[in-house]
């Protein structure tokens, strides 16, 4: 019989600047975003794998620059209604590139009618699926910064934050136990913390090595089916 887990309770997402975790994997990207007034032609792409912190860092930038944030779905309509002298953030632009809207936004930034445009994506601009020739050439020239997967120090702090976001008390030594046994990505850390938190809730216990071991073993068994 499969082990029981608690119902899915969403974590409290905290995108404040004070909650962003600095490390070698994101230092270049954060520095580049702080220098947004110096971006060539007013545009920057922020790329990186799922869960690497793009949305958090982009939200910090939007707060500092006064940018309005749009999803890919509402970008084209939002661009037409954007107030004067307002910067623009578009999340996950590579999911389905709105070519005409993106082309106009890039041109407006170059003409200084948009102070700055930040685009987040998993893939670098040259790999976005576009066919408009003028847009292709602009994407080839677009600067971008990358958020990398974390090292041990950063991953430790990520795990601490993820458990804190879920309000999970964690016993000493649990994170050190997890580090050499888990997949080395923020996305994997987020999923693992969710499973461990649910397991601890079912057992009505803090997060212990025993709880972490149970989840790792069950996760491994599910992955081998």
CATH of 152-223, one of 1.10.8.60, 1.10.1040.10, 2.40.128.130, 1.10.10.10: 1.10.8.60
Is 152-223 in the same CATH topology as 26-146?
A: no
What pLDDT, on a 0 to 100 scale, did the predictor assign at position 24?
A: 79
What pLDDT, on a 0 to 100 scale, did the predictor assign at position 1?
A: 38
What are the residue boundaries of the structural domains of the chain, listed by start? 26-146, 152-223
What pLDDT, on a 0 to 100 scale, did the predictor assign at position 25?
A: 81
86-118, pLDDT tens digit by residue? 999 999 999 999 999 999 999 999 999 999 999
Q: Does the predicted TM-score (pTM) go above 0.85? A: no
> Mean pLDDT in each 10-residue stretch from start to end of the chain (225 residues)?
46 60 84 94 93 87 95 91 93 94 95 95 96 96 90 89 92 96 85 94 95 89 46
**What are the angstrom distances between the C-alpha of 60 and each of 31, 33, 175, 184, 200?**
12, 9, 27, 25, 32
Domain 26-146: which CATH class? alpha beta
């Amino acid at each position: 019989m499969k082990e029981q887990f608690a119902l899915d309770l969403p974590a409290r997402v905290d995108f404040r600047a004070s909650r962003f975790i600095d490390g070698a994997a994101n230092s270049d990207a954060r520095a580049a975003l702080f220098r947004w007034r110096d971006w060539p032609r007013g545009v920057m792409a922020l790329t990186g794998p799922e869960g690497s912190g793009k949305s958090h860092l982009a939200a910090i930038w939007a707060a500092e620059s006064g940018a309005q944030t749009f999803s890919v779905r509402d970008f084209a309509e939002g661009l037409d209604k954007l107030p004067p002298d307002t910067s623009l953030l578009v999340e996950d632009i590579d999911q389905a590139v709105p070519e005409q809207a993106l082309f106009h936004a890039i041109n407006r930034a170059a003409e200084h009618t948009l102070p700055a445009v930040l685009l987040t994506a998993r893939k670098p601009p040259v790999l976005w699926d576009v066919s408009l020739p003028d847009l292709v050439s602009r994407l080839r020239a677009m600067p971008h910064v990358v958020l990398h997967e974390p090292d041990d120090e950063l991953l430790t702090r990520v795990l601490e934050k993820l458990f804190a976001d879920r309000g999970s008390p964690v016993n000493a030594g649990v994170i050190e136990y997890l580090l050499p046994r888990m997949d080395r990505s923020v996305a994997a850390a987020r999923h693992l913390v969710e499973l461990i938190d649910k397991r601890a809730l079912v057992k009505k216990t803090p997060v212990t090595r025993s709880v972490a071991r149970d989840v790792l073993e069950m996760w491994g068994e599910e992955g081998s089916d």
